[in-house]
Structure 1
Amino acid sequence: MKPGRTVALVLGCVCALAGFALLCAAVFLGWAYVEQNDNGHLASAAERFRSSANALVSERIDLLDDGEMPRGLSTENVGRVLLRVTSDEPDRPIFVGIGPDDAVDNYLAGVAHTQVTAVEFGPFRPSYREISGDRIPEPPSAQSFWSVAAAGAGTQEVRWDLQPGSWTVVVMNADGSPGISVDVQAGARWNFLGPLALGVLIGAVVLLGAGIALVVTGAIGLGSNGPPPHPVGTSGRVPPPGPPSAPHPARLSGDLDEPLSRWLWLIKWLLALPHFLVLFFLGAGFLVATLVAGVTILCTGRYPRGLFDFNVGVLRWLWRVQFYTYSALGTDRYPPFTLQRTDYPADFDVEYPEHLSRPLVLVKWWLLAIPHYLVLAILVGGWWFGNAATDDGTVSGPWVLGSLLSLLVLVAAIALLFTGRYPRPLFDLVIGINRWAYRVIVYAALLRDEYPPFRLDQGPQEPPQPILPRDQSRAGNQP
């Protein structure tokens, strides 16, 4: 991998991932802007607040001055707040208002009141701070300092445009008497959500475009000048070549590299972390390259050779790491950091197709591959942990679900721990399951048009093509 292409590939992956994150943020902001549909507000559910004092107040709310706001944005066009307050006694008049913090403090000086200090959701639970006092307050509606206020029986609603300064929300009985029990619904409208969503969307498109361009630039040419099909590694061992007419163009091999350590598998997840980090970026490049290749195949019927070699190299790298770790545990030899073929005990390769079907690009990766996805969900689905719950919500006990592959590898790990040997039939079955999975990946990634077979071709090497008897082969050549 040339340094320039490596840098382009990594930067492209970072830009593409950042663009995808911004795209998700733009979708969320757009959804929030559209959902401001409760009289133009995003509103919460009504929740019950109680106080035995004369007033129920919020903590001080500090809003920025216009000079502290971002350029082009002022407190006047940020948005507004909606408050709906309903007494649990429909005929009892109530008051709700928002006023300057210092004026509210002067009004409630010496008056018993309750301050809401925190609110927890799921389940809803407010926290209060009681402030003692024995003075009877004047009716709140008689005060002139409120920025916005409403009083009367039934549901009272106020809408307040955000303004700079320090503010306090106050809920009281209209006559100032003690004992408050109300349902409060809060809402807000943010005027900047629409422009912000548009700006984030533009940034996402720019980053995605730049990321795709960099990934394609970094991917094209990788592997085209690589070593011969079966290179000799530093150990001097030549990987066993696949048969010239293998039953499937995707060839996966894995030689059990004995002797194996009894305990090393316990920490392989830690040792493989550098590979996992690199494969994260390579996986993003794989997805982008596959998308570009799909469009190219749809237009020309050919898979760009540079992208093909890159994607096959990513799968080869992934297989080596999986063979080392918990998809096989077939070797203790640390995987190399390369897309190329080496003398590593695990190898993967795909024959380059000269022509691919254009219509199949649209359906084979999702519709036609569904039967294989269902089978692989059982074979290689992974581990799931949880707790079983009864109808009344109580936990009855833990449950564990695991794929067949993970279960087999776990058995192999236990066998290694206690006997120091990997059961050969178990290893052959593990390789067969991985071979099935990689054939499906090759098909879904548009690398080949041959439909994957529904069979477990077990063993370290690909099975040879069946040879017809001599009389049948002669008969096939007769007119």
Structure 2
Amino acid sequence: MTSTNDPFSDVSFTSNPSPVPATTAPPGTGTSHPGGGHLAALIIGCLLILPGLGLLLGGAGLGITYAVARDSAGYLTFSMPDLSSSSPALTTADAVVATSSDVPSWVLDRLEFDVRLTARPVEPGKTVFLGIAPAGSLSTYLTGVAHDQVVGITDPRSGGQRSAVLRATPGAATAPAPTSQTFWAASATGPGQQQLTWRVTGGQWAAVIMNADGSSGVAVASSIGVRAGFLLPMAFIMLGLGLVVSGVAVALIIAGASGSRPSSYTRPPGVPTPASAAAGGPGQPVTMSMATPTGAPMQAPPPTGQPVAWSSHPRAMSPVALDARLDEPLSRWLWLVKWFLAIPHFIVLGFLWIAFSVVSVVAFFAILFTGSYPRGLFAFNVGVLQWSWRVSYYCGNGGLGTDRYPPFSLGPEPDYPARLDIAYPERLSRGLVLVKWWLLAIPHYIILGLLLGGGGWVWGRTTNSGARVETWGWGVLGLLVAIAGFSLLFTGRYPRALFDLVIGLNRWVYRVVAYAALMTDVYPPFQLDEGGSEVPLAPLAPPSQLAPVVPADRIEPPRQVDG
């Protein structure tokens, strides 16, 4: 060839057509990973496993309760704290039983729901009265009469014994004798312990405890029992549904985790190998050149038998680089106790994250007034995230991908199998710092809520006017890591597809964390970049676009251009 513009002179390599042993691609690059359908199956399966397990546990608990907690009459009995009132009556708040008027009566008949109310006067010799009546009729009867309503029971977890919470209604100190009233649906009266049973029917009903003569000063020890014929069928229905939903969820998880795309290059029929095209016969070096139709250089296919890394899609451009290497072989059982071994890290990280929050507030004002993140503060926060990622990768939602104990370090630790780096921004927007960490990041917060769980908070008061906060919730990441742990426990291997997905989800999480912590203005992409390596190998061009193979003895060197 004599033309210096020959497109086939752009790229060349020399290969030996002798057999080439297959090699393993670097972790996270040539590994298999779920395709779109398999990924959807995996996520749907993880979401279904929660209600499936809930139905199984609920059905099992209901069945066990039905089998062992009933008394000889078939009632589940709940003891009440002692009730006392200086007024003539103790009632339930509003209605103890309320059903909509459009509920057919046969529905309640089929449920076979019975209520048993038991009360024993604390003071011997008192004659107690128990009654259940329509809520409206009882309210009319007690109009103008002092009475106390039971509106709640204190939580025993708050300390001390349970006690009733009463709401007083002022009025007369005596009431007409309840035994002379005719509106009771069920009643019981007499000295000593009294017991009332009633089959629930439609409407709004309320219960009352009084002295038989309507006098003031009611004090009783009481209990409530329920008997429901539908409990056992409901337990079986919940167990059946739980088995079906859990089975579907497990099948989807297995199908999603095992599905993969090809990770090696397959030479189509008719495409010659370097050895077959060489004029000098087997064993002779062959030079190949190729280019795209536009003349740009193109990557050459490898010799036959050597695997090639493929990428499902190009990586998103992000200043957050998260890498992980599956540090095999992994112990089958060590992951069960890693959380305990990592307690020293949790203690230190607790203080570091407090400092992280303080530094982020300082950085907020620095960016607001100067447009830059102080480099020293930036390095500290990156170090906290690096430390957190290493510990998470060792024993948490990061993936359980290594048995190497994480170092106590704020540095990068390049030899550890989990690495994280965030590019330092020379300039940051002063306006974005006001809204990006809360308003702009809301869509990602919703996604992170699904990935990490967290559910919500409960705020409750205690008897000593204190408060408690409780959280609950499991996320997709926790479920996937648990599946990986059980796979290690029973099979001794970590599914590569599952590893790629877990690391991709963690990459999403840390991109959002860096954005919300004001460390970058680059909005986190809505893209799942799977695999342990942040920068995978580029895909090869299809063989149909490769230039023809040219024997080495027919390629002329480029012509020298005289200056």
TM-score when scaled to structure 1? 0.54
**8 Å contact from structure 2 (residues 55, 239) kept in 1:** yes
Render the CA deviation track for 1:141-190: whole Å, top value 9, x for unaligned.
45565443322222222222223344342322223333323333323233
In the alignment, the residues of structure 2 paired with residue 247 and residue 260 of structure 1 have an alpha-carbon distance, to the nearest angstrom, of 42
> Is 1:45 equivalent to 2:80 in the alignment?
yes
* Selected match of 1:126 from 149, 166, 178: 166
Contact kept, 8 Å, 1:35 with 1:42, in 2: the verdict is no
Partner of residue 8, structure 1: 41
Aligned to 2:220: 182
1:95 aligned to which of 115, 129, 152: 129
Rounded Cα–Cα distance in structure 2 between residues aligned with 1:210 and 1:218: 12
Deviations 1:330-371 (A, max 9, x none): 9746666334348748x9xxxxxxxxxxxxxxxxxxxxxxxx
Alpha-carbon distance in structure 2 between the residues aligned to 1:240 and 1:133: 75
In the alignment, the residues of structure 1 paired with residue 39 and residue 235 of structure 2 have an alpha-carbon distance, to the nearest angstrom, of 33
Structure 1 residue 285, shift from structure 2 partner: 6.2
Instruction: Give the gaps of 5 or more residues in structure 2.
Output: 1-33, 156-162, 265-307, 331-400, 403-416, 453-474, 537-563
1-structure distance, mates of 2:200, 2:147: 24
Q: Which residue of 1 aligns with 2:503?
A: 315
The answer to whether the 8 A contact 1:254-1:330 is kept is no
Q: Identify the match of residue 176 of structure 2 among 127, 133, 137.
A: 137
2:420 maps to which of 245, 251, 254:
254
SS of residue paired to 1:68:
coil
> 1:34-59 CA deviation, whole Å, 9 max, x = no partner?
46435522313333131433x44444
2:145 to 90, 102, 112: 112
Which residue is 1:24 aligned to?
57
1:121–1:3 Cα change, 3 Å? same
Q: Is the 8 A contact 1:254 1:323 kept in 2?
A: no
Distance 1:35 1:265 in 2: 60
Measured in 1, the distance between the counterparts of 2:168 and 2:232 equals 36
Equivalent-residue separation in structure 2 for 1:221 and 1:229 (angstroms): 15
Quote the offset at 1:302 in angstroms.
6.6
Structure 1 residue matching 2:170: 3-state secondary structure = strand
* Aligned partners of 1:223 and 1:340 also within 8 Å: no
Q: Which amino acid aligns with 1:11?
A: I
For the residues of structure 2 that align with 1:33 and 1:316, how far apart are their CA atoms?
45
Cα distance, 1:210 vs. partner? 1.0
Q: How does 1:199-348 map to 2 (within 5 A)?
A: 199-222=237-260, 224-225=262-263, 228=309, 251-255=417-421, 257-259=423-425, 271=441, 273=445, 276-277=448-449, 279-280=451-452, 282-283=476-477, 286-287=480-481, 290=484, 293=487, 298=491, 307-318=495-506, 321-322=509-510, 325=513, 332=520, 337-341=527-531, 344=534
Closer, same or farther: CA 292–105 of 1 in aligned 2, 3 Å: closer
How far is the alpha carbon of 1:232 from its aligned partner?
8.8
Within 2, Cα distance between the matches of 1:232 and 1:323?
A: 17
Cα distance in 2 for residues equivalent to 1:12 and 1:70: 40
In the other structure, the counterpart of 1:440 is none
The alpha carbon displacement at 1:292 in A equals 8.0
1:266-308 Cα distance to aligned partner (Å, 9 max, x none): 976984536625645752662575378469x64xx776xxx42
Asked if structure 1 preserves the Cα contact closer than 8 Å seen for 2:324 and 2:532, the reply is no
Task: Check if 1:84 corresponds to 2:278.
Answer: no
Q: How many residues are paired up? A: 333
Aligned to 1:443: none
SS in 2 for 1:184: strand
Offset at residue 120 of structure 1 (A): 4.4
Give 4+ residue runs of structure 1 displaced > 6 Å after superposition: 229-232, 234-237, 239-243, 245-249, 260-270
Q: Alignment partner of 2:209: what SS?
A: strand
Distance (whole Å) between structure 2 residues aligned to residue 68 and residue 234 of structure 1: 56
Distance in 1 between residues matched to 2:446 and 2:121, nearest whole Å: 60
Corresponding residue to 2:190 among 126, 146, 152: 152
Deviations 1:407-463 (A, max 9, x none): xxxxxxxxxxxxxxxxxxxxxxxxxxxxxxxxxxxxxxxxxxxxxxxxxxxxxxxxx
Given residue 47 of structure 1, which amino acid in structure 2 is its aligned partner? D
| 2:372 counterpart residue number | none
Q: CA deviation at 1:87?
A: 2.1
Paired AA for residue 169 in structure 2: R
1:416-435 alignment to 2 at 5 Å? Answer: none
Q: Does residue 68 of structure 1 match 2:103? A: yes
CA distance in structure 2 between the partners assigned to 1:261 and 1:204 by the alignment? 54
**Structure 1 counterpart of 2:14:** none
Residue 20 of structure 1: CA displacement? 2.2
Q: Secondary structure at the match of 1:159?
A: strand
Shift in CA distance, 102/48, structure 1 to aligned 2, threshold 3 Å: closer
**1:237-268 CA distances to partner (integer Å, 9 max, x unpaired)?**
9x99999x999996333345335778999976
Q: 1:177 is paired with a residue of what secondary structure?
A: coil
Residues 311, 334 of structure 1: alpha-carbon distance in 2 compared, 3 angstrom cutoff: farther
Contact 1:16-1:207 within 8 A present in 2 as well:
yes
Higher relative contact order (CA 8 A, sep 6+): 2
Contact 1:257 1:330 survives alignment (8 Å): no
SS in 1 for 2:424: coil
What code does the residue aligned with 1:90 have? P
Q: Deviations over 1:382-430 (max 9, x none)?
A: xxxxxxxxxxxxxxxxxxxxxxxxxxxxxxxxxxxxxxxxxxxxxxxxx
C-alpha distance in structure 1 between counterparts of 2:323 and 2:508, whole Å: 17
Q: Distance in 1 between matches of 2:130 and 2:329?
A: 78
Q: 1:312 to 1:163 in 2, by over 3 A?
A: same
Cα pair distance change 1:260/1:23, threshold 3 Å: farther
Q: Partners in 2 of 1:63 and 1:185 — Cα distance? A: 20
Q: TM-score, normalised by structure 2?
A: 0.47
What residue number does 1:411 align with?
none
Shift of residue 234, structure 1, vs aligned partner: 7.5
> Greater CA deviation, 81-90 or 226-235?
226-235
**Any gaps of 5 or more consecutive residues in structure 1?**
348-479
The aligned amino acid for 1:23 is: L
Cα RMSD for the two superposed structures: 4.9
